Structure 1
């Protein structure tokens, strides 16, 4: 054990104990604390709350933090990935989605306990991430990108379902934030048994993991069954994370922080890491919960502990990013083979435009009524047109703007997984919107637009500043963006859990909807999208050369710094313009440029135009589905965009390199 460990851990433990004692004595003076054995019939209300609420909560924080720290340590060792943990690999979000689905659609299943449901969701997410990782030899960057994107998809769907079920809204929002509130000692007892089982499993796995650290080929040469060890270790880590999710909800990034801080303190051996990571994880979660309890003692508990731990994740991931070894780009244009180019792209573009116009007219004319589907007559069409036209124009314009942003970012980074959602632009814009709602007493449309644009610009500035000083390859840029998105999601989770009326307005906006858009706003968004399209076309030469690399671009005299700055600003403006009116929509900026390229629109001008038309069509489809699927109630637009985008994303990442 290093000197840093011997000094730091006792100090952290003393601080955690002090925080908890301050919070507990604020609730009930030490002299009035109940004595063992606890007998509710002989206690006051305050003593019952202390004995069966505050005390088990303190123990639960230690146990949950230890389990997450151990889970993260096992994942990092077996995958040889220093930024792997239940959050970054989507495991916790998978458990969250499974529990939300069960609560809303099949509550009777919960009679058998939440653990099997959480384990099924966590296992499904882990299996999907491993399937993607296996296609890329479990490369660290690819694994984390896949995990975080799958986790973001699961969280988006869970949020949309939560919003659609008003009777479960408050409880699900608080649970999703990771609440440590306890009412008995049942949860701590269950997690104690889980921690004991996890410690035994980690002890048995320590030696095989040490052999596996030599590399898959070296370990196989020594007679180790690499596949069996990997699957067993991941299964143990998934079980530990699912147990925490089943008991207290989503606790983010503790599994990342525990092993990372252990290595920072000088721990190098696998055995020592598996011992110290749980201890550090327990202290991290205990300190975070102590801060929440201390604040609660002054003003009442305002947000769950899981929201505070999530605030650690983005900065910590950014700090670890330069230290991440191993790199497998999820794919480049060269790796995917030369793009098929159409001899007559204008014919296809005109066909896409005609199809978009026809689709818009059809979607205006048909709809659902109490008796079923119907085609509007001329009189009804005239009556409904003022209501439907603004949202159709807004949805199409937002899809076009996001598609333009995605096409720019994919060519700028030479990475087909780049998109506004992945690079953190949408997350930053969402924070700007939320901050405006809370800071400004009566925000106007102009104020909200300004705040949202500022949020998107700031997030892009952070990523640009971070990566420009380190000359990171394209896939690291994506991971930096995902880190910003994770931080934004955590802040928004904290805001949602407050329970303020403004938080519900933000939650409604986050799900994505064009129903409140006026014709003026829709027209302004359409005009903005058109201006951005023209601006992007004027930069087509830059977009053609930049994917070839800095060496080629600089060799032919391209102003690299200026071109990158202007293109990033253009992408940020496009994303902010779409986000402010219809929310942070998912995956349109990722899919549309790919679909355009697959159709043979390979040249920058053709791809930009085709992507904009396809993005508009995708958003029209999502808006129509959101209106009609749950008639007479409107479902969240973001849910439909996610359901369209998730299969595409999974297929894209599982394609083998060629």
Structure 2
């Protein structure tokens, strides 16, 4: 399947004008920020002049680092977008930066000698591993732009879950690394910029050498191949250079979000159409944009600027820009065909499989309630004499996890059938991001907010995100690609928001990270009852939409001819998936792969029609989350791990295994 070239309408300013404008604005802010140091210049002995040392060994190296990193990330994004024919490809959206950051975290904890030998090598290894996995998933779908972005999201979520577990287990050692990983440009010498310059320069030369071959891709891969171009070799070489550029930057300064996505987009908006022009102007725009952002951060933050990571701020600015750019992207080929094969009839074997799924679910539920460890660590089956003492503490957690897992599973099934994409899930929708931001606000409004207050704020945040997604969806007729990509942007904004909080040094940031992990530790009987009631009500509503879910995967035209109001049905189904996601997020947090895994498990069991798949997914999702909650209680006994993080950490590799077996 070959993607058509994507282009954006030219803007009113040319690329040179944008570079000059950004550079002038950054230079003005830099002059203002450096004014106190310049004013104090010479007021102390030359051998120990604080103002002189601050300017020469902190301010100027930071400027140079911003320029080099901005250019490198923009060039990396341009290479990704050119060879993948994907205007949304970047080191951030493809999970390359997340892989490098996780590799560095693992190296610091478990192999510090490797960090001492070569931090760049560790970062490049992490980037290469993440890229290889994403491309293995993308190759199954013809390197579809939409599928590649969603594959990158899966890898990024898994890396984020793993990093969160490392932080919770090693908070004394990892908090500072977490702050650095958010993308701090603060410098104390010229070591980093001087070390980066030759590496980035060499890769830039290699990128320029590939300009002419990449230009042939404009006529299509088949035509380029007919002219003697090896598209696969070109793609491999360009991706290797792009990964190297991003890996070196992450190794040096942490994750700088969205520069690799926004700078190439601005370059195209400015009218640069030829590959050579984009390779020239995109790095210049990226360098000026990151320099301007960094100087803005210093101007806004003042004295605290050294502790506020610029990388997190670029994501805060870049996410709204991505939302603004989405409606201007011209149509691309769909990530999967418009129509699937005819659905098989609802036959007896499917019913038997559904009974088998229910049996497995019942065993998991009974095991979570009655099997575990005693206070002295012994494994035992809970006796009848101990029910009154233990079950009131254990049962609310188990049933809350059950209801939340079932809601996530049904929401994931709706999204996957609605979008014809195996990678769609509640995590992509962005609703969990809104709930998390709501909880963060409650932590800063109240000194010690009760669980009910946190749930209320989380619900308000989720509803706001639902409203934003609904408004954005109406503009595109609830086109699945636009709605889910809007969710990706909102999720990235959440990551940036958490990064800023952590960088502030506020202890409430660690509380928020724990909540994001999805711990059921504080769930009581009332909360569990509420979650289960919500699950029953909204899952019954989902079952009532089974005809829509059976017919919409056939394509908009076919569904409309069969009497389905396509736009209204899509809108209501997206709204239902959002409400299900919000209700589950209040219990298990935003990091959970149950919404991705359960629909696949149901489909693997032979439940392909909407009704049996929804029921099977609800049972599978509830069972998986119950199992994750049990594992979180037992795996590090007597300490506890959040159920959401456990499900994400264990579930993602299993999901990736399933996806590698499938072709579009």
1:97, CA displacement in angstroms? 1.0
Deviates more, 1:202-211 or 1:389-398: 202-211
Distance of 1:269 and 1:333 partners within structure 2? 35
What is the SS of the residue equivalent to 1:404? helix
Q: 1:511 to 1:332 in 2, by over 3 A?
A: farther
What is the SS of the residue equivalent to 2:255? coil
Can you list the C-alpha shifts for 1:121-156, whole angstroms capped at 9, x where unaligned? 001111122222223332222222222332222222
With normalisation by structure 1, the TM-score equals 0.92
Q: Quick one: which of 23, 46, 62 aligns to 1:13? A: 23
With normalisation by structure 2, the TM-score equals 0.91
1:423 aligns with 2:433: no
Distance of 1:224 and 1:564 partners within structure 2? 42
Corresponding residue number in structure 2 for 1:32: 41
Determine if contact 1:366/1:373 at 8 Å carries over to the other structure. Answer: no
Corresponding residue number in structure 2 for 1:284: 289
1:531, CA displacement in angstroms? 1.7
Corresponding residue number in structure 1 for 2:572: 566
Q: 1:614 to 1:333 in 2, by over 3 A?
A: farther
Task: Please show how residues 371-390 of structure 1 align to structure 2 within 5 Å.
Answer: 373-376=378-381, 378=383, 379=385, 382-390=388-396
Q: 1:606 to 1:178 in 2, by over 3 A?
A: same
Distance of 1:31 and 1:623 partners within structure 2? 59
Can you list the C-alpha shifts for 1:243-299, whole angstroms capped at 9, x where unaligned? 000011011110111111111111112112111111111111111111111123255
Can you list the C-alpha shifts for 1:334-357, whole angstroms capped at 9, x where unaligned? 15x745744165554444334333
Corresponding residue number in structure 1 for 2:244: 239
Corresponding residue number in structure 2 for 1:318: 323
1:248 aligns with 2:253: yes
1:114, CA displacement in angstroms? 1.0
1:521, CA displacement in angstroms? 1.0
1:539 aligns with 2:517: no
1:119 aligns with 2:119: no
What is the SS of the residue equivalent to 2:426? coil
Q: Quick one: which of 543, 547, 554 aligns to 1:548? A: 554
Corresponding residue number in structure 2 for 1:51: 56
Determine if contact 2:429/2:578 at 8 Å carries over to the other structure. Answer: no
Corresponding residue number in structure 2 for 1:474: 480
Corresponding residue number in structure 1 for 2:605: 599
Determine if contact 2:147/2:423 at 8 Å carries over to the other structure. Answer: no
What is the SS of the residue equivalent to 2:142? coil
Which ranges in structure 2 are unaligned for 5 or more consecutive residues?
A: 1-9
What is the SS of the residue equivalent to 1:375? strand
Corresponding residue number in structure 2 for 1:586: 592
Corresponding residue number in structure 2 for 1:147: 152
1:528 aligns with 2:537: no
Q: 1:480 to 1:392 in 2, by over 3 A?
A: same
Deviates more, 1:138-147 or 1:562-571: 562-571
Corresponding residue number in structure 2 for 1:642: 648
What is the SS of the residue equivalent to 1:213? helix
Distance of 2:414 and 2:264 partners within structure 1? 37
Can you list the C-alpha shifts for 1:193-238, whole angstroms capped at 9, x where unaligned? 1222122212222222223333322222222232222211111111
1:308, CA displacement in angstroms? 0.6
Tell me how large the CA RMSD over aligned residues is.
Answer: 2.7
Can you list the C-alpha shifts for 1:408-433, whole angstroms capped at 9, x where unaligned? 22333343332211222222222222
Determine if contact 2:161/2:649 at 8 Å carries over to the other structure. Answer: no
Distance of 1:489 and 1:376 partners within structure 2? 41
Deviates more, 1:202-211 or 1:565-574: 565-574
1:377, CA displacement in angstroms? 5.3
Q: 1:210 to 1:538 in 2, by over 3 A?
A: closer
Which ranges in structure 1 are unaligned for 5 or more consecutive residues?
A: none
What is the SS of the residue equivalent to 2:379? strand
Corresponding residue number in structure 2 for 1:453: 459
Distance of 2:311 and 2:568 partners within structure 1? 41
Q: Quick one: which of 598, 609, 617 aligns to 2:615? A: 609
Task: Please show how residues 2-401 of structure 1 align to structure 2 within 5 Å.
Answer: 4-26=14-36, 28-32=37-41, 42-297=47-302, 301=306, 303-322=308-327, 323-324=329-330, 326-330=332-336, 334=340, 338-339=343-344, 341-343=346-348, 347-368=352-373, 373-376=378-381, 378=383, 379=385, 382-401=388-407
Deviates more, 1:472-481 or 1:6-15: 472-481
Q: 1:450 to 1:631 in 2, by over 3 A?
A: same
Can you list the C-alpha shifts for 1:517-567, whole angstroms capped at 9, x where unaligned? 112211221121112222223333333333334444444444445544433
Distance of 2:336 and 2:557 partners within structure 1? 21
